[in-house]
Amino acid sequence: MDEQSYSELLRKVKSSVQKREEKKRFQSPKPEIITEGKLTIIKNFKDIVDVINRDESHVFKYLIKQFGLSGDVADGRLIFKGKPPEGSIEKAIQEYLRIYVQCYECGNYDTEMIRENRNEVIRCKACGAERPLYAHKEIRYSEEKIEEGKTYELEVTDLNRDGDGISKKGDITVIIPGAKKGQKANIRIDRIRKNYALGILVKKS
């Protein structure tokens, strides 16, 4: 092996090791969650957004859609008007990282979201890889095992601010009017939206 080939190989090895180390070092702040009456608050929302280098409104819109709740951002805090299921906020943030931040090629989190030809693209600053977001969304949602008109047995894990039941089917939040917390019932999916579905209690005959 000549000196030039060896130097190129060594450079690639060092680059690969560096990327793996950067991936290991990355750690998004754990959400600091408090409740005030019917409100659920992520106290360090701005810190999370700053670390992952994404637009505050983009992360906010993603999270409220996950739970079918309304909310607001004030003084660096995200305020949900309701109570998402326990543990679901941290899970939703990790899912956001997987979809909108992490590089598919090298696993690095040092990426940027740009717009090319009217499409949103994730570009990795470490390896230069790019991927369009729409392609990933199509794959993700095609894997969800939930269909309009079908009936599923679900457990109601919480209530939203309007008193409607909340359940989960895969990554989809199902809102069920008239359901009670802790109730297990057959639910017919009436409508499916981007990140949530509306369900109807099916009475046993």
User: Is the Cβ–Cβ distance between 195 and 164 less than 8 Å?
Assistant: no
Residues 45 and 66 in one domain: yes
Which pLDDT tens digit goes with each residue over 147-162? 888 898 999 998 887 7
Are residue 163 and residue 139 in the same domain, yes or no?
no
Domain that holds residue 78: 25-99
Spatial separation of the C-alpha atoms in residues 27 and 97, rounded to whole Å = 11
Claim to verify: residue 191 and residue 127 sit in the same structural domain: no
- pTM for the model stands at 0.56
Report the pLDDT value the prediction gives residue 10, as an integer from 0 to 100. 53
**pLDDT (tens digit per residue) in 83-117:** 998 889 999 999 899 889 988 878 889 999 988 77
The answer to whether residue 142 scores a pLDDT higher than 50 is no
Position with higher pLDDT, 161 vs 199: 199
155 and 130 housed in the same domain:
no
- Give yes or no: residues 120 and 180 share one domain: no
- Asked whether residue 59 is domain-assigned, the answer is yes
Whether 16 is covered by a domain: the verdict is no
The answer on 189 and 168 residing in a single domain is yes
Do 60 and 121 reside in the same domain of the chain?
A: no
Residue 17 lies in a domain: no
- Does residue 33 form part of some domain? yes
* Same-domain check for residues 94 and 109: no
7-34: pLDDT as tens digits: 665 555 445 445 444 444 567 889 999 9
Give the torsion sign (CA, 148, 153, 156, 162): positive
